[in-house]
Structure 1
Amino acid sequence: MTAETTLRIEVQGMNCAACAGRAERALGALPGLHDVSVNFASGQARMVVQGTQASDVAEALKAVNYPAREATVTLSVSSMSCASCINRVEAALKALPAVIEARANLATETAQVRFLPGGTDALDLARRLSEAGYPARVKDEEGEDQAARRAAEVDEARRKVWIAGLLTLPVFALEMGSHVIPGLNGLIAGTIGMGTSWLVQFVLTTAVLIWPGRKFYRLGVPALLKGAPDMNSLVALGASAAWAYSTVALFASGLLPEGTRAVYFEAAAVIVTLILTGRWLEARAKGRTGAAIQRLIGLQPRTARVERNGEIRELAVEEVAVGDLLHLRPGEQVAIDGEVTEGNSYIDESMITGEPAPEAKGPGDTVVGGTINGDGALSFRATAVGRDTVLARIVAMVEEAQGAKLPVQALADRVVRVFVPIVIAVALVSVAVWLMVGPAPALPHALIAGVSVLIIACPCAMGLATPTSIMVGTGRAAEIGVLFRKGEALQRLDEARVVAFDKTGTLTQGKPAVTQITVSDNWDEATVLRIAAAAQGKSEHPIARAMEDAATRQELALPKVQSFNAIAGHGIEAEVDGYKLLIGAARLMTREGIEIGRFESAAQDLADKGQTAIHVAIDGEYAAILGIADAAKPSSRAVIEALHARGLRTAMITGDSCAAAQAIADELGIDHVEAEVLPEGKVDALRGLQNRFGATAFVGDGINDAPALAQADIGIAVGTGTDVAIESADVVLMSGDLAGVVNALDLSHRTLRNIRQNLFWAFAYNTALIPVAAGLLYPVTGLMLSPMLAAGAMALSSVFVLSNALRLRGLRPVMEGHA
């Protein structure tokens, strides 16, 4: 059975949400495709593919007039020696879901590939072919990235606006100039004559429609003929109606009733010019919505210093392979993910984790491509390249989230699906009503009402309302270290009523620490800790590391150990600096006949707090009792308080003892505790919280908590830089700091609020202005909405929605991380 894979491609020709809906339905009808989502704002389609060919996808989109963007690349291929090699090369390329066509040429040692960008790229094709045993490199790459295409779209839109504006200005001045300059009409009539004026307007307006405005006809007319009108159809109908009426009035005025001879060329020209202006502003704003992705992509350097055969060479980052040894100078960017083999330095990982403090790096530590080295020099071994790097996975996650459709968008989609046909029907009804009951001359009034309805009702704002906010919100979240792996998590997180936490490694440090030391009268704390930590240096137990860490924090010099012996189930015995030590549980003291005495109560207090009591005897005398516990992270209490301030309940689910769990819960102020829960029991504990309180978010380390993360309404994985549980969570926090939970909730809330504002504006705008455009206020005010004003209002509606979404770029973390 063919494996499923997620495919993202770029779709062209979409101008409104109705276009996206039609493209989505066309893809959804293909066998082997499911979970199809087409995003109007990003111009991308996402689908899960099983067995469907890329050529079928391209044909399905082409059939509905929204072709997929295609690209062609030529690869230089080595090791091809016969016809069977050609077949294998072509088969390896065609096996990729985004490849439409692949042709290999043995004579030129090349392969030409036609593919759908977004689903793959030239470098990935070369890498896949190399993995198949035929080393390949890009020979003639298209080289155009999304940012460059966006810039080209903006330039093209601006050029059309200038052309349309220069052609429209004389038309507008000839017809409407008298409203600004008294007597202009008389001057025109007395010089060139009104007939010549109308003829000039006809020529210039026709040029506007067939030159900068031709796209409305090229896309809108076929859509209308197929019975699936879109925004282009509305503009084409509206502008054509004004132009056709005016042309008849100019060249065949006898066909019109007496008193109705007038021209509206300026309306047709201005409509097209204003809508093109709106498209230009839209293109500029839409380019900025994807700025976060472009910034992330731009983090990776172009070259790397690689050591091969004992020689250090500067290579393109695409040529770096797993296992290569790379050298990093002070102040340079890390080129690729890897593991440090030599050197010590500090790395600024803020662009990945959102945490401002640089991280110390030494042999054995991981480094991430795109981060910035400090003052030290490092050598590191490449561990991931291409799409497997942390940065590439982050970009993929953000793109996945940005292409998602939220439940809140469902209503807008249903409305948009029937909106354009309804608008055309309303426009026709408006024309009919004005012709039947309108004041004389009725025909011009009917024309104005019909054209205004067609123009003002274009559903651009509705289609942009949700996806633009998602794009900006998730992009900004990624920049501060919060990755919404699934776009739907934006809405589900805003609906959460409970936030449940795993304890160990999530709320706590994840390793034991010395919390208190109580010594007998004959000893001082520093001496006991110094020799006990030295003795524990020979032990592998986590508690031993806790004692060593405590001594290190106090900057104690540890003496040498003369002898050491582990006593299974009890503790250790050792000789350090001339002292004979026993360190371990109470049963070790009992076995050796050492009286604990007054320290019994201290041991009981530690037990009540859920801490482990470690007893120390020196030279046969009881010396001290140490409390060992997994301490809470510095940010944990502040995070719990911030969640309570937002009206959320908090819970903790842990396998620890009730006493240990309750001690942490009391320290942090957690509302509800589920303790002594086996790993498989966490899912049942979560179900209980969901049934009792409602939507529940679960925060875990994302590795051993995968079932719980999947069961929760929203799974939040707390990463530690590169250790990110991509597959199990809906939201990933790139740093290990819980402040990211509060920031994720805040981003979710603000993004959803922004979406609701956009949807309200889009719906309210259309609901309110369609009746006005139809002439509902004429009996009261004697005024009708000009088609030119309708075009301007329609363009401004989309610009308002985009501008409102772009405000999310300024979001700041509401809670800073704790070191």
Structure 2
Amino acid sequence: MTTSVTPDADIQRFQLDVSGMSCGSCAARVESTLNKVDGVRASVNFATRVATVDAPAGVGATQLCRVVTDAGYPAQLHAQQAAEPDDDPDARYARSLMVRLAVAAVLFVPLADLSVMFAVVPDTRFAGWQWVLAVLAAPIVTWAAWPFHAAALRSARHGVATMETLISIGVTAATVWSAYTMFFGTSPGVSAPDSDGILDALLGSDSIYLEVAAGVTVFILAGRYFEARAKSKAGSALRALAALGAKSVSVLLEDGSEMEIPATELKEGQRFVVRPGQTIAADGLVIDGSAAVDMSAMTGESKPVDAAPGGNVIGGTAVLDGRLTVEAAAVGADTHFAAMVRLVEEAQTQKANAQRLADRISAVFVPVVLALAVLTGVGWIAATGDVHRGVAAALAVVVIACPCALGLATPTAMMVASGRGAQLGIFLKGHQALEAIRTVDTVVFDKTGTLTTGQANVTAVVAAAGWGSAEILELAAAVESGSEHVVARAVLATLGDERRRAVSDFHAETGNGVTGTVDNVHVSVGRPAWVARGRVVPADLAAARKDGESRGETVVFVSVDDVVCGALTISDTVKDSAAGAIAALHEAGLRTMLVTGDNARTAEVIAAQVGIDEVVAEVLPEGKVEVIETLRAQGRVVAMVGDGINDGPALARADLGLAIGRGTDVAIGAADIILVRDDLGAVPLALGLARETIRTIRTNMLWAFGYNVAAIPVAMAGLLNPLIAGAAMAFSSFLVVSNSLRIRKFGSRR
């Protein structure tokens, strides 16, 4: 069951599984029905058959399900996608279609041969030939086609028409027309009653369309079968991702023994054991043991990561060797792994603008097609008196017009893209990322933790006269203990826990530094310009700053009671993947910039190492936002890549935000795309995936629109056989889904 509370505490979010939807217009009807409930906002995705609903506190899930069910579409609370293929609803649907398709295909072959022969060469008819055709056709046009008839009847009860309506009417009309022709028409051994005008044409026609009714059923069943198979494959990446979660976990008891329990019962703070080949059940802290951990499930990278006491591990990853004892820090829905699965699910259930347009078109398309079919039939009969041609043209219009491909064009591509992205360690939060990325021309990078590893080391401690280096380090570490910044981690790692002093009145000023009270003195640690404001900086500290920055290192000052008394030089290593990623972006014609709060000299050195020419340094978080706003005012479409708290506002303000997944929750929450790999090559890869998805959606939409626009006039002109129309319509949907599946191979040769 999926239920959550949105930022508005009075609004609940539900996801509903909706069955019975067979086309985009069905989804549009369900969405419209839900949105008529007071205070409810709903979005329905036909490809995933999931309705995402924001409802006020007074509206419960049961009421929402009842509203949808009353509209003719059974609904229930959405369950997490199953890991087992047998539990995949698209796979089950495909199997049920396969049975109907097999029966229909076996009967269709002799039916088509006999029907065409009897219609074209009446002399081959024998006594009772009509019953032979009827016996062959009846199972096809009734039982095999029942899913279409049932959906059409359900829609008719609610006064709406869907794509299934077109199919059902086409099959029924062809069957009824053929029955008239066979049992009441002029044929050898059969006398037609006297009549005149249109009735003469009707009763004297040798037109037999049973092969059309059966053929349309067979072709559309085949199209729906392959479509369901393809959609099952499209969701396979998410099911595979969900399957990576641990099913059970060995909990360590107080007496040192172990007890195996379901992973869902693991509680925060419990310690559990992970052995080689097992999956880590939850995010946590390594208490004992060391091992190589396969992070590919989360990052797309095959290179293992070493885990040791004091280090963090992520649920859903696998231990390759060694034995770990882990203390659970986040379990169940709170784990990093569960959050990634939710992101993929949410991305698949959202709608792009193109899909909303398609839904609106589908909602009015079917009634228009029915009207055109009637006009076509009446027009041909009135103009030529040829009922055969009129009925054939009208049937062709009904059959060819089903806009199934239109309803699948966008959501199927989005499903495949989000699943493939998850396999590559790229998580798209939704369609907004895809729609923004096609016009991105500038990529702005943060420095620390983004271009650099974020694993900094203190390389030098310089103390002013009268102060000791050890004391300066201890005071700085005490204040930095309340921060999660890279500088803080470097200082704390250098000092060690045994020498750490207590701090009170801690305060962090984002982008500048931290302050606090240690041993009754006020200590500030941060950017030199911020710490030294209004204070005298000793010459040896100024020299240390200049020397460190010239080497591309970061320098922070330490002050005690308004006296600048120390300088810490901190070195951070550039990521190995940074230069290659920047080069790839340049090859794609994108402009790159480095925007950082660090000093200009250090920023320029780092930028030169990775190949970035434009640098904006010594800016606060609001300064990063100003840089992005300036670029946007110049007509630039900006993507921002960052990982820290001070990157959050810039990530949110940029046209596209990309957060390094190991960064802070603030950065991840503000971003549109999350990169859980440390390899910055994921940045051009993410941009490439989004562009490939947009190209696929455009191709799908072009085909879906173009197919209907071109085919309907041809059918109205009487130039399209209804049987060929049915095959073409089924092939159209299959083509759209198959085209989307190409995204599954994206990045396989990177």
- Give me the whole-angstrom Cα distance separating, in 1, the residues matched to 2:92 and 2:25: 24
For residue 508 of structure 2, what is the aligned residue in structure 1?
none
- Give me the whole-angstrom Cα distance separating, in 1, the residues matched to 2:407 and 2:488: 60
For residue 221 of structure 1, what is the aligned residue in structure 2?
153
- Give me the whole-angstrom Cα distance separating, in 2, the residues matched to 1:753 and 1:709: 25
Of 330, 335, 347, the match for 1:384: 330
For residue 432 of structure 2, what is the aligned residue in structure 1?
488
> What is the one-letter code of the residue matched to 2:36?
A
Confirm or deny that 1:679 pairs with 2:614: no
Q: Do the aligned partners of residues 151 and 590 (structure 1) sit closer, same or farther apart at CA in structure 2, a change above 3 Å counting?
A: closer
For residue 294 of structure 1, what is the aligned residue in structure 2?
239
> What is the one-letter code of the residue matched to 2:18?
V
Please show how residues 299-310 of structure 1 align to structure 2 within 5 Å: 299-310=244-255
Confirm or deny that 1:507 pairs with 2:451: yes
Q: Do the aligned partners of residues 568 and 38 (structure 1) sit closer, same or farther apart at CA in structure 2, a change above 3 Å counting?
A: closer
Confirm or deny that 1:272 pairs with 2:207: no
Q: Is the 8 A contact 1:341 1:364 kept in 2?
A: yes
Q: Is the 8 A contact 1:610 1:661 kept in 2?
A: yes
For residue 656 of structure 2, what is the aligned residue in structure 1?
714
Cα shift at 1:610: 5.6
Q: Is the 8 A contact 1:404 1:488 kept in 2?
A: no
Confirm or deny that 1:257 pairs with 2:200: yes
For residue 173 of structure 1, what is the aligned residue in structure 2?
113
> What is the one-letter code of the residue matched to 2:575?
K
> What is the one-letter code of the residue matched to 1:493?
I
For residue 610 of structure 2, what is the aligned residue in structure 1?
668
Q: Is the 8 A contact 1:242 1:267 kept in 2?
A: yes
Cα shift at 1:200: 1.9
**1:727 aligned counterpart, secondary structure:** helix
For residue 425 of structure 1, what is the aligned residue in structure 2?
371
- Give me the whole-angstrom Cα distance separating, in 2, the residues matched to 1:314 and 1:368: 20
Q: Is the 8 A contact 2:84 2:239 kept in 1?
A: no
Cα shift at 1:375: 1.7
For residue 447 of structure 1, what is the aligned residue in structure 2?
391
Q: Do the aligned partners of residues 143 and 475 (structure 1) sit closer, same or farther apart at CA in structure 2, a change above 3 Å counting?
A: closer
**1:338 aligned counterpart, secondary structure:** strand
Q: Do the aligned partners of residues 213 and 604 (structure 1) sit closer, same or farther apart at CA in structure 2, a change above 3 Å counting?
A: closer
- Give me the whole-angstrom Cα distance separating, in 1, the residues matched to 2:487 and 2:32: 60
Of 301, 304, 313, the match for 1:367: 313
> What is the one-letter code of the residue matched to 2:135?
V
Question: What whole-Å deviation, never above 9, does each CA across 1:402-423 have from its counterpart, x for those lacking one?
Answer: 1111123343233222211121
For residue 4 of structure 1, what is the aligned residue in structure 2?
11
Q: Do the aligned partners of residues 278 and 722 (structure 1) sit closer, same or farther apart at CA in structure 2, a change above 3 Å counting?
A: farther
Q: Do the aligned partners of residues 385 and 627 (structure 1) sit closer, same or farther apart at CA in structure 2, a change above 3 Å counting?
A: closer
> What is the one-letter code of the residue matched to 2:65?
A
**2:151 aligned counterpart, secondary structure:** helix
- Give me the whole-angstrom Cα distance separating, in 1, the residues matched to 2:555 and 2:241: 49
Of 10, 17, 21, the match for 2:28: 21
Cα shift at 1:243: 1.1
Q: Is the 8 A contact 1:721 1:734 kept in 2?
A: no
For residue 30 of structure 1, what is the aligned residue in structure 2?
37
Cα shift at 1:470: 0.4
Q: Which moved more, 1:793-802 or 1:17-26?
A: 17-26
Cα RMSD of the aligned pairs, angstroms, is 3.6
Cα shift at 1:655: 1.7
Cα shift at 1:546: 7.3
Of 61, 64, 67, the match for 1:57: 64
Q: Is the 8 A contact 2:33 2:68 kept in 1?
A: yes
Q: Do the aligned partners of residues 416 and 548 (structure 1) sit closer, same or farther apart at CA in structure 2, a change above 3 Å counting?
A: closer
Q: Do the aligned partners of residues 548 and 464 (structure 1) sit closer, same or farther apart at CA in structure 2, a change above 3 Å counting?
A: closer
Q: Do the aligned partners of residues 538 and 671 (structure 1) sit closer, same or farther apart at CA in structure 2, a change above 3 Å counting?
A: closer
> What is the one-letter code of the residue matched to 2:686?
A
Q: Which moved more, 1:458-467 or 1:195-204?
A: 195-204
> What is the one-letter code of the residue matched to 2:408?
L
Cα shift at 1:292: 0.6
Cα shift at 1:545: 9.1
Q: Do the aligned partners of residues 750 and 219 (structure 1) sit closer, same or farther apart at CA in structure 2, a change above 3 Å counting?
A: same
Percent identity, please. Answer: 37
For residue 348 of structure 2, what is the aligned residue in structure 1?
402
Of 725, 745, 748, the match for 1:810: 745
For residue 240 of structure 1, what is the aligned residue in structure 2?
172
- Give me the whole-angstrom Cα distance separating, in 1, the residues matched to 2:644 and 2:438: 21
- Give me the whole-angstrom Cα distance separating, in 1, the residues matched to 2:149 and 2:356: 30
Q: Is the 8 A contact 2:644 2:664 kept in 1?
A: no
- Give me the whole-angstrom Cα distance separating, in 1, the residues matched to 2:449 and 2:639: 17
Please show how residues 431-470 of structure 1 align to structure 2 within 5 Å: 431-438=377-384, 442-470=386-414
For residue 575 of structure 1, what is the aligned residue in structure 2?
none
Cα shift at 1:751: 0.6
Question: What whole-Å deviation, never above 9, does each CA across 1:272-307 have from its counterpart, x for those lacking one?
Answer: 121111111111111111001110111023221112
Q: Do the aligned partners of residues 537 and 343 (structure 1) sit closer, same or farther apart at CA in structure 2, a change above 3 Å counting?
A: farther
Q: Do the aligned partners of residues 146 and 705 (structure 1) sit closer, same or farther apart at CA in structure 2, a change above 3 Å counting?
A: farther
**2:414 aligned counterpart, secondary structure:** helix
For residue 729 of structure 1, what is the aligned residue in structure 2?
671
**2:74 aligned counterpart, secondary structure:** coil
Please show how residues 344-355 of structure 1 align to structure 2 within 5 Å: 344-355=290-301
Cα shift at 1:805: 0.6
**1:374 aligned counterpart, secondary structure:** strand
- Give me the whole-angstrom Cα distance separating, in 1, the residues matched to 2:615 and 2:32: 47
- Give me the whole-angstrom Cα distance separating, in 1, the residues matched to 2:403 and 2:732: 10
Cα shift at 1:508: 2.3
Q: Is the 8 A contact 2:647 2:667 kept in 1?
A: no
- Give me the whole-angstrom Cα distance separating, in 2, the residues matched to 1:309 and 1:250: 84
**1:756 aligned counterpart, secondary structure:** helix
> What is the one-letter code of the residue matched to 1:804?
N
Cα shift at 1:714: 1.4
Q: Is the 8 A contact 2:28 2:360 kept in 1?
A: no
Q: Is the 8 A contact 1:742 1:814 kept in 2?
A: no
Please show how residues 551-570 of structure 1 align to structure 2 within 5 Å: none
For residue 110 of structure 1, what is the aligned residue in structure 2?
none
Of 718, 735, 738, the match for 1:800: 735
- Give me the whole-angstrom Cα distance separating, in 1, the residues matched to 2:270 and 2:568: 47
- Give me the whole-angstrom Cα distance separating, in 2, the residues matched to 1:379 and 1:629: 32
Q: Which moved more, 1:238-247 or 1:715-724?
A: 715-724
Count of equivalent residues: 670
- Give me the whole-angstrom Cα distance separating, in 2, the residues matched to 1:214 and 1:300: 39
Q: Is the 8 A contact 1:23 1:61 kept in 2?
A: yes
- Unaligned stretches of 5+ in structure 2? 1-7, 186-192, 461-468, 481-485, 495-518, 526-535, 557-566
Q: Is the 8 A contact 2:86 2:92 kept in 1?
A: no
- Give me the whole-angstrom Cα distance separating, in 1, the residues matched to 2:375 and 2:289: 78
- Give me the whole-angstrom Cα distance separating, in 2, the residues matched to 1:587 and 1:383: 44
Question: What whole-Å deviation, never above 9, does each CA across 1:544-581 have from its counterpart, x for those lacking one?
Answer: 9979999xxxxxxxxxxxxxxx999999xxxxxxxxxx
Confirm or deny that 1:117 pairs with 2:62: no
Q: Do the aligned partners of residues 647 and 144 (structure 1) sit closer, same or farther apart at CA in structure 2, a change above 3 Å counting?
A: closer
For residue 528 of structure 2, what is the aligned residue in structure 1?
none
- Give me the whole-angstrom Cα distance separating, in 1, the residues matched to 2:184 and 2:154: 29
- Give me the whole-angstrom Cα distance separating, in 2, the residues matched to 1:389 and 1:569: 36
Q: Is the 8 A contact 1:390 1:722 kept in 2?
A: no
For residue 497 of structure 1, what is the aligned residue in structure 2?
441
- Give me the whole-angstrom Cα distance separating, in 2, the residues matched to 1:281 and 1:545: 54
Q: Do the aligned partners of residues 543 and 384 (structure 1) sit closer, same or farther apart at CA in structure 2, a change above 3 Å counting?
A: closer
Q: Which moved more, 1:248-257 or 1:294-303?
A: 248-257
**2:645 aligned counterpart, secondary structure:** coil
Of 248, 266, 270, the match for 1:320: 266
For residue 633 of structure 1, what is the aligned residue in structure 2?
575
For residue 657 of structure 1, what is the aligned residue in structure 2?
599
- Give me the whole-angstrom Cα distance separating, in 1, the residues matched to 2:669 and 2:372: 49
Cα shift at 1:490: 1.5
Q: Which moved more, 1:274-283 or 1:716-725?
A: 716-725
Q: Do the aligned partners of residues 456 and 515 (structure 1) sit closer, same or farther apart at CA in structure 2, a change above 3 Å counting?
A: farther
Question: What whole-Å deviation, never above 9, does each CA across 1:39-98 have from its counterpart, x for those lacking one?
Answer: 111111112222222122112212332221x3xxxxxxxxxxxxxxxxxxxxxxxxxxxx
For residue 97 of structure 1, what is the aligned residue in structure 2?
none
